[in-house]
Amino acid sequence: MLQVIRYVISLLVFSLWAMAANAAAIDDYVFETPEQQSRFIRLTTELRCPQCQNQSIADSNATISEDLRREVYRLIDEGREDQDIIRFMQERYGDFVLYKPRLNAQTLLLWFGPLFLLILALGVLAVIVKRHRKTAQSSVLDTAEQDELDNILDGKQ
């Protein structure tokens, strides 16, 4: 029993260690204020690594991400605003570096295309259902026919 407990504890410790090792690349940047540090963390998770395509520069170990993290640190250190830093990256790497695409004429379809399609589909569905109801209602029997049917079912004919 004791061995099992020991085993479980060591497994827990190991998995915690593995999780920590898996955490984002942490550089040894020293910030003047905690607020600067949290800005650094937020900005680097909002910027996409241009080389790896599916990681933020905070997550990626690619050299370019290291360099871009260094730039973000430098810009924060110089007292630049967040918007400024984002623009700095955009001017060099284009809209691709933004994980959240901006809302402009080019990205309108990207933002609202699916919603538009959904509304369209629902509209079409509504119309189809409406029509179907009409045709279904017209196939309801009138009283005379209903009587006849009852008679048939009762085996009176």
Partner 1 sequence: MKKWTLVPLVLFLVLSLLFYRALFRENKNDLPSALLNRPLPEFQLPAVLNPERLITAKEITGQVFLLNVWGSWCVACRVEHPYLMELADQGVTIYGVNYKDEQADARQWLKQKDDPYVLSVADVDGRLGIDLGVYGAPETFLVDQQGMIRYKHIGIVDKRVWEEDLKPRYQALQKESG
Footprint of partner 1 (CB under 8 A): 50-51, 53, 63-64, 67-68, 71, 90-94, 96, 113, 117, 120-121, 124, 127-128
What is the Cα–Cα distance from 19 to 111, expressed in whole angstroms?
34
Contacts of 21 (CB under 8 A, 6+ apart): none
What is the Cα–Cα distance from 64 to 9, expressed in whole angstroms?
39
Contacts of 65 (CB under 8 A, 6+ apart): 25, 49, 51, 52, 55, 57, 58, 59
CB of 143 to partner 1, least distance (A): 33
CB of 23 to partner 1, least distance (A): 24
CB of 42 or CB of 92, closer to partner 1 = 92
CB of 46 or CB of 89, closer to partner 1 = 89
For the CA atoms of 69, 65, 21, 29, the dihedral, rounded to the nearest 10 degrees, stands at -20
CB of 55 to partner 1, least distance (A): 13
CB of 121 to partner 1, least distance (A): 5
Q: Are 97 and 50 in contact (CB under 8 A)?
A: yes
In the numeric block, which tokens belong to residue 134?
């009409």
CB of 15 or CB of 51, closer to partner 1 = 51
CB of 116 to partner 1, least distance (A): 9
CB of 27 or CB of 67, closer to partner 1 = 67
**Among the listed residues 69, 9, 8, the one whose alpha carbon sits nearest the alpha carbon of residue 37:** 69
